[in-house]
């Protein structure tokens, strides 16, 4: 005679909910991966900001429009070739620039600083009229030997509001939100 009792499956009241929730989260991560462009997509070249600053270049030498337009641009291959058409160093990155040019390809930068579509930000207004240094918003890029995987200084509404308050400049919602 056996003293063992047959095992019974006890239904868990939240079991179906928990399984559904886990499945929902996993599907969400699959279809909408977390936005971390630097980690998911490396930059086309390992641009060394520090080296370029050391030789006397400024931000606007590569990022046109930062002083006189609403939006600053990321450098095109032609921008790089204006200095690097002939070899200046033994750098593999410099060789890659010329290889891309020979193949007729363009640099495909991953834009790290991205504001929501409803936010208007003018580089000209902040750099030329507000006399802000690029590092105020972008962080110490001049010290960066490799492209950062994410912005060195995150741009949030609080960042902007705090900066405006410190400098005692207008903080009207309609100036930035369209």
Q: Do the domain assignments include residue 146?
A: yes
Q: What residue numbers bound the domain in which 166 lies?
A: 43-74+109-176
pTM of the prediction? 0.70
Cβ neighbours for 140, distance < 8 A, ≥ 6 positions apart:
152
Q: What would the pLDDT profile of 61-107 be if each residue is shown by its tens digit?
A: 999 998 899 989 999 999 999 999 998 999 999 999 999 999 999 99
Distance of CA 120 to the CA centre of its chain: 17
DSSP codes joined into one string, 44-77: SS---HHHHHHTT--HHHHSTTTTTSSSPPPPPH
Q: Do the domain assignments include residue 121?
A: yes
CB 30 within 8 A of CB 87: no
For the record, the structure tokens of 25 come out as 């989260």
Q: What would the pLDDT profile of 104-145 be if each residue is shown by its tens digit?
A: 999 999 988 888 889 999 999 999 999 999 999 999 999 999
CB 128 within 8 A of CB 68: yes
Q: Do the domain assignments include residue 116?
A: yes
Q: Do the domain assignments include residue 144?
A: yes
């Amino acid at each position: 005679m056996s003293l063992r009792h047959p095992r019974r499956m006890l239904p868990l009241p939240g079991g179906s909910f928990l399984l559904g929730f886990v499945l929902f989260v996993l599907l969400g991560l699959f279809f909408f991966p977390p936005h971390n462009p630097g980690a998911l997509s490396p930059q086309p070249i390992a641009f060394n900001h520090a080296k370029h600053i050391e030789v006397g270049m400024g931000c606007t030498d590569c990022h046109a429009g930062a002083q006189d337009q609403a939006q600053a641009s990321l450098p095109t291959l032609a921008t790089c070739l204006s200095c690097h058409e002939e070899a200046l160093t033994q750098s593999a990155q410099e060789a890659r620039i010329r290889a891309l040019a020979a193949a007729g390809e363009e640099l495909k930068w991953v834009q790290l600083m991205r504001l929501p579509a409803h936010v208007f930000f003018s580089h000209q207004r902040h750099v030329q009229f507000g006399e802000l240094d690029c590092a105020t918003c972008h962080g110490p890029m001049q010290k960066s030997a490799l492209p950062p995987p994410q912005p060195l200084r995150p741009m949030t509404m609080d960042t902007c509001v705090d900066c405006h308050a410190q400098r005692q400049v207008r903080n009207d919602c309609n100036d930035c939100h369209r």
